[in-house]
Amino acid sequence: MTSLITPVILAGGSGTRLWPLSRKSYPKQFVRLVDEQTLFQASALRMAGRSGALAFAAPVVLTNSDFRFIVTEQLSEVGIDPGAVIIEPEGRNTAPAILAAALHLLQADPEAVMLVAPSDHVIPDTAAFHAAVAQGLTAVAAGDLVTFGIQPDRPETGYGYLELATPPDGSGAPVKLARFVEKPDAARAAEMLAAGSYLWNAGIFLFRAKDILAAFETYAPDLCAPVKAAVAEATADLGFLRLAPGPWDGAQDISIDYAVMEKAPNLSVVPFAAGWSDLGGWDAVWREGAQDDNGVGLSGAATAIDCTDTLLRSDSANLEVVGIGLDNIIAVAMNDAVLIADMSRAQDVKKAVDALKARKATQATQFPMDHRPWGWFESLVIGDRFQVKRIHVHPGAALSLQSHFHRSEHWIVVEGTARVTIDDEVKLVAENQSVYIPLGAKHRMENPGKVPMVLIEVQTGTYLGEDDIIRYEDVYSRGQGAKG
């Protein structure tokens, strides 16, 4: 008999340990880090279709408002139609998100089985992962809450651990959980590695929706009322499901481990030893990527001379990264920021982001390429009273009908053809043609073609912030504000 499982993908995070590539406005799950697919796309594909006795339903994705169109665009690129994209009014950690997903699924299926996974992990062996999920279903059928533990291959201090009641027997069968263990120091991590009864906590879970709801009602009852109300009062918005912000504000910011898992007695662990990484730092990216005989990993326009155990990466086509005589070094370059660190200090990148935030540096949180539902733009030059942008509009996409209080704009089409509205006039603007948008004029650009449209925008005015925008019409229903 085929077991139907609904993937629940958590995609609202904004990790900083892979800065400058991962930032609050465009975090690592949506970036191509180690493959042609993004981490989010790889996670969705890993839990799609059929595999032996497993069948995966359309995924439920939890994310925030700024990422909602990125989620649907990236799923569409790999041929996946989401079952529901649930918008959290603001991040409240994993416990409220998972509870909301369970309540949503129970509305349609009282026996729904959920496979909950972060969207930013690397699991190279999909077949082995499916086999582990199949193993976990035996415990789920008995009413257990199942988590997945990774067989450690080093005394890692960056992960929490799962202590098993008995050491795994090598069959992959579920083992009862004794307790959760916080991130250890180096000496304790070495002891746990030698003991053989400790696994890394992967943060991946498998259970029936009704069983996790019962656990919440028993061990975290204060979460139930606000989350139930947020789901009951949720509103549909262009195919998205927006949780009600009022009740959601009353939900505690807490992880599923602290809220439920560390208290519930019916926990089983499926051991997994086929390869896994949460890419929790540039050292992890280096380990997961290809290396030469000297342990050097290169990505993009990067060159190494007499280097060892080093990662050199350029994410800008016009910026060459060259390392000479480096050992145990991380060097990551983008067109607006460069990170250089000792490999042993990879976990301290967050301190750098905090320091940049304290200086109010935009590079701390803002990705140089600003993604919108119609495409993206990037700032090329910024002056006191002018800004130059490159704007990429997807085929068939359209920006909102809008106006500005403080700036006028010049548009020069360099690829494709734009349909331009300026007040009551609508005209086509082809490659190598330009148009002027006066201050205060209602205007819109659209791409009527079947190939991307690219233009250069020159803004001039007293204020050039993205919040200087009044929307009159918008096919994406974004409302007012910089992103709506």
Looking only at the bridges linking them, the beta strands covering 329-333 and 338-342 are: antiparallel
H or E stretch at 305: strand 302-305
The fraction of the chain above a pLDDT of 90, given in percent, is 74
Checking if the pLDDT of 167 tops 90, the result is no
One-letter amino acid at 338 equals V
Q: What is the pLDDT of residues 45-73, one digit of tens each?
A: 999 988 888 999 999 999 998 899 999 99
Checking if the pLDDT of 2 tops 80, the result is no
Topology, domain 3-272 = Spore Coat Polysaccharide Biosynthesis Protein SpsA; Chain A (3.90.550)
For range 395-406, the mean pLDDT? 94
Query: Cα–Cα distance between 42 and 459 in angstroms, integer?
Result: 38
- In the chain, CATH 3.90.550.10 covers 3-272
The fraction of the chain above a pLDDT of 70, given in percent, is 99
The per-residue pLDDT of the chain, averaged, comes to 92
**Residue for token pair 């009044």:** 470
Confidence of residue 481 (pLDDT cuts 50, 70, 90): low
Can you point out the beta strands (E) in 183-227?
A: 198-208
pLDDT of residue 465: 86
Query: Cα–Cα distance between 367 and 141 in angstroms, integer?
Result: 44
**And the tokens for 358?**
């304290």
| pTM across the whole model | 0.88
Q: Which CATH number fits domain 369-473: 3.40.50.80, 3.30.499.10, 3.40.50.2000, 2.60.120.10?
A: 2.60.120.10
Contact 238, 200 (CB under 8 A): no
- Residue 100, CB-side half-sphere exposure with 13 Å CA sphere: 36
pLDDT of residue 421: 96
The residues, any chain, with a CB within 8 Å of residue 359's CB and separated by 6 or more, are none
Query: Cα–Cα distance between 332 and 343 in angstroms, integer?
Result: 12
Query: Cα–Cα distance between 394 and 377 in angstroms, integer?
Result: 11
The residues, any chain, with a CB within 8 Å of residue 170's CB and separated by 6 or more, are none
Checking if the pLDDT of 333 tops 70, the result is yes
* Angle, vertex CA 32, rays to CA 31 and CA 34, nearest 5: 130
- In the chain, CATH 2.60.120.10 covers 369-473
Q: What backbone phi and psi angles, to 5 degrees, belong to 244? A: -65, 125
Checking if the pLDDT of 334 tops 90, the result is yes
Checking if the pLDDT of 484 tops 60, the result is no
Contact 3, 55 (CB under 8 A): yes
Contact 339, 321 (CB under 8 A): no
**And the tokens for 209?**
């929706």
**Residue for token pair 């800065």:** 19
Collapsing DSSP to helix, strand or coil, 462 comes out as coil
Distances (CA, A) of 219 to 96, 215, 260: 13, 6, 6
Checking if the pLDDT of 483 tops 70, the result is no
Residue 7: is the preceding peptide bond cis (ω within 30°)? no
